[in-house]
Chains A and B, each alone.
Chain A
Amino acid sequence: KQEVTQIPAALSVPEGENLVLNCSFTDSAIYNLQWFRQDPGKGLTSLLLIQSSQREQTSGRLNASLDKSSGRSTLYIAASQPGDSATYLCAVMRGAQKLVFGQGTRLTINP
């Protein structure tokens, strides 16, 4: 059974800092790994999708890496801004489009 764990559960940093969110998964047989953002009272927004054959993806100030062999992914956020405050969820996709989510990291960027 695939299990996804995110550490830390909550993180608070001053504006402008670079930060890393961690995700680990138990079964390396995945199609892809996605990072989502969830704002309070809203649905999930896909930030980055890394296919199983890829090592990383970048979008603006965000960079996500994938190491299937060790069952780990990281989301790197450069030059953090207060607008980055949200919950970040990691999810791995198994067969037939099934996403398994971690519990999320609640990020607060302090001005």
Chain B
Amino acid sequence: EAGVAQSPRYKIIEKRQSVAFWCNPISGHATLYWYQQILGQGPKLLIQFQNNGVVDDSQLPKDRFSAERLKGVDSTLKIQPAKLEDSAVYLCASSSLGQGGETQYFGPGTRLLVL
């Protein structure tokens, strides 16, 4: 079974530029998550999708971050314009739709450096 795929793996941009990350979850997984992990901290949930719909985006800085999940499969996360504090690893995860408490499977992450 293929795992969660993310691209690109690394990205360096200057502040005020835009950037987009892509995630392909495990086949059949209804729930998809984007996390932000700043160096030395644990991951923080940015947005959670269930199929096409957003379940939770309470911690997404909506003035600059946007995310979509077309057709309930792949997802993209965009930052526009980027700030220095956006430098972090962006992790995508997916899980099956069950009774609750299902394990989340994580991709390798995209490491973003904003200069």
Contacts and interface: CB of A to CB of B under 8 A. Distances in A.
B109 A42 contact: yes
Nearest to B105: A46
Interface residues of B, number: 26
A43 B101 contact: no
Contacts of B111: 41
Contacts, number: 60
Classify chain A's interface size: 20 to 34
Which 10 interchain pairs have the tightest Cβ spacing? Answer: A101-B42, A43-B106, A44-B106, A31-B101, A43-B108, A32-B101, A103-B42, A101-B43, A46-B103, A43-B107
A30 to B, nearest CB: 9
B109 A43 contact: yes
Interface of B: 4, 31, 33, 40-45, 48, 55-56, 91, 93, 95, 100-109, 111
A31 B91 CA distance: 22
A73 interface: no
A97 B100 contact: yes
A62 interface: no
Interface of A: 4, 31-32, 34, 36, 41-46, 49, 51, 89, 91, 93, 95-99, 101-104
Contacts of B33: 97
Contacts of B101: 31-32, 49, 51, 93, 97
